[in-house]
Amino acid sequence: MPVVRNLGRAASQLLQSSGCGCGVSLVPVRAIGVSPRQVASDASFHSVTFSESDHPRVLITGGLGQLGVGLAKLLRKRFGKNNVILSDIRKPADNVFYSGPFIFADILDYKNLREIVVNNRITWLFHYSALLSAVGEANVPLARAVNITGLHNVLDIAAEHNLRLFVPSTIGAFGPTSPRDPTPDLCIQRPRTIYGVSKVHAELMGEYYHYRYGLDFRCLRYPGIISADSQPGGGTTDYAVQIFHDAIKTGKFKCYLRPDTRLPMMYIDDCLKATLEIMDAPAEALTMRTYNISAMSFTPEELAQEVQKYVPELQVTYNVDQVRQAIADSWPMNFDDSNARRDWGWKHDYDLPELVTTMFSYLGSDSRIAQAN
């Protein structure tokens, strides 16, 4: 295991600005040369008093990203506020800080992360810390450190302390040689981004730790996630968020993908529901450790037609970005999630019409929308 060195202030600033919700340690990361069962139990235990003792104690890393805050809210409603700890290396907004426990956690600081797990008697860990595709391509060594070395730290700690571990994967874990319509759970995976490569690595390492050490590892491959409370960040699937903002503000939308580009998508509430359901599922019901999940699959043209039911005068033009189009053309057009539906009863709530209605209801009514309704 190579030691991470000289990431420096620039790397830390990149992480702070990327919104990825992950950390960089400026000290060498420990080399992983022994199995989790051989790690000495030398951490100090501290008694933590909490009333909901029958519930899991949850830690979410990278918790200030698109999914972490929403997941914490869902889990706190289910298990009690004090049983769910949100963590990140960035300063949270006041409403997040005061909504429940929040701590600083750097996934590359193995000792500190281990102390957090021990001191707070963590039993479930949701590992969302990662550099996403665009930021990762701009700094591959940093992405390799965070997405792979950070994952190894989490895997060892989870195995040592018998945690139930969730690590999300992505539509980007597939590549141009994968079957695209539909894409099954098990098929060739040859992604062409460091983010996709690191996610395939996570899937395989999680499965290995499950079979080698008995780690209760669980993973979902997310499609494009659509949310009203996060701004589009320029990603390949973000057009499906941008169109709503532009429809309300200007009535004009310029799409960077071809009108016939079909991709699997999901509303954030379905995504969070699926994440909790896979963690709740009995271990004996799971026939695999990594599952596709899907809700809908649509093209920019189909989405625009649905949006125009609310904003009839919306003008849509297409100015194809060749880089993002090439990425989209290498991704699945439809996810086959039949195994998730069979094994643990996955069922989505939002199709395209419900998605559009919900997005407009959250983003606020405009005179154009009010008239259409």
Q: What are phi and psi of 306, to 5 degrees?
A: -70, -40
Candidate list 110, 128, 195, 209, residue with the active-site label:
195
CA nearest 277: which of 349, 358, 354, 228?
A: 349
Pairing between strand 296-298 and 263-267? antiparallel
The answer to whether the CB of 255 falls within 8 A of the CB of 317 is: yes
**Partner residues linked to 224 by β-bridges:** 265
DSSP 335: B
CB atoms within 10 A of CB 362: 11
Are 38 and 106 in contact by the 8 Å Cβ rule? The answer is no
Nearest C-alpha neighbor of 334 from the set 182, 169, 226:
182
Q: Cα dihedral angle (204, 136, 184, 359), rounded to 10 degrees? A: 130
Taking a C-beta distance cutoff of 8 angstroms, is the pair 33, 157 a contact? Answer: no
Q: Which of 139, 153, 147 shows the shortest CA–CA distance to 196?
A: 147
Helix (H) or strand (E) holding 199: helix 194-213
Long-range contacts, stretch 183-187, CB < 8 angstroms, 24+ apart: 183/292, 183/332, 183/333, 183/334, 183/335, 183/336, 184/292, 184/336, 185/288, 185/290, 185/291, 185/292, 185/336, 185/339, 186/288
Our answer to whether residue 195 is catalytic in this structure is yes
Percent helix, percent strand, percent coil in the chain, to nearest 5 = 45, 15, 45
Give me the active site residues, please. 195
